[in-house]
């Protein structure tokens, strides 16, 4: 049995009798503390200034999220077979031209490329076999 996809008209709810937006637990909690938020933040800032590391961490994590490492672009000439290209990536890793994360990303991309090549090859082979069957009238 095939599944059918139902689309709703823009602005029409799929569940008109369902819960109204803004009436969930989180929304009610936010509304109940909204008037106290400035005082809560002021208290946290005061505790952080007094040396409370938990208060400082909470404030800094929310205001200044931790920086994520970024990799600088690296130019590699990857030629030949996929195996040779993988070897070039590993060589660049072993000499420090690539970080382990960069090498992992490149090897993952090469793996995906190998799978695509495999599927393309299978598609061509199947098409060839189907054409041979059509020519010989065995269908």
Reported pTM: 0.47
Of residues 82 and 14, more confidence is placed in 82
Share of the chain above pLDDT 90, in %: 50
Nearest to 57 by CA among 67, 45, 68: 45
The predicted structure's pLDDT at residue 119: 95
Mean pLDDT over 91-117 rounds to: 93
Distance CA 61, CA 48 (A): 13
Q: How confident is the model at residue 91 (pLDDT cuts 50, 70, 90)?
A: very high
DSSP string for residues in 38-95: HHHHHHHHHHHHTT-HHHHHHHHHHHSPPPPP-PPP------SSHHHHHHHHHHHHHT
Of residues 18 and 43, more confidence is placed in 43
Q: How confident is the model at residue 137 (pLDDT cuts 50, 70, 90)?
A: low
Per-residue tokens: 135: 């020519």
The predicted structure's pLDDT at residue 16: 75
Mean pLDDT over 67-82 rounds to: 82
Q: Is residue 8 predicted with pLDDT exceeding 80? A: no
């Amino acid at each position: 049995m095939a599944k059918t996809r139902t689309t709703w008209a823009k602005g029409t709810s799929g569940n008109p009798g369902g819960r109204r937006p803004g009436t969930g637990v989180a929304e009610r909690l936010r509304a109940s503390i909204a008037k106290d938020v400035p005082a809560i933040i002021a208290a946290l800032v005061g505790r952080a200034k007094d040396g409370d590391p938990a208060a400082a961490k909470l404030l800094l994590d929310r205001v200044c999220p931790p920086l994520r490492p970024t990799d600088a672009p690296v130019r590699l000439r990857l030629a030949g077979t996929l195996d040779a290209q993988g070897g070039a990536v590993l060589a660049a890793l072993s000499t420090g031209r690539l970080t382990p994360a960069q090498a992992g990303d490149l090897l993952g991309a090469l793996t995906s490329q190998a799978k695509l090549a495999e599927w393309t090859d299978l598609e061509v082979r199947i098409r060839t076999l189907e054409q041979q069957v059509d020519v010989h009238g065995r269908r």
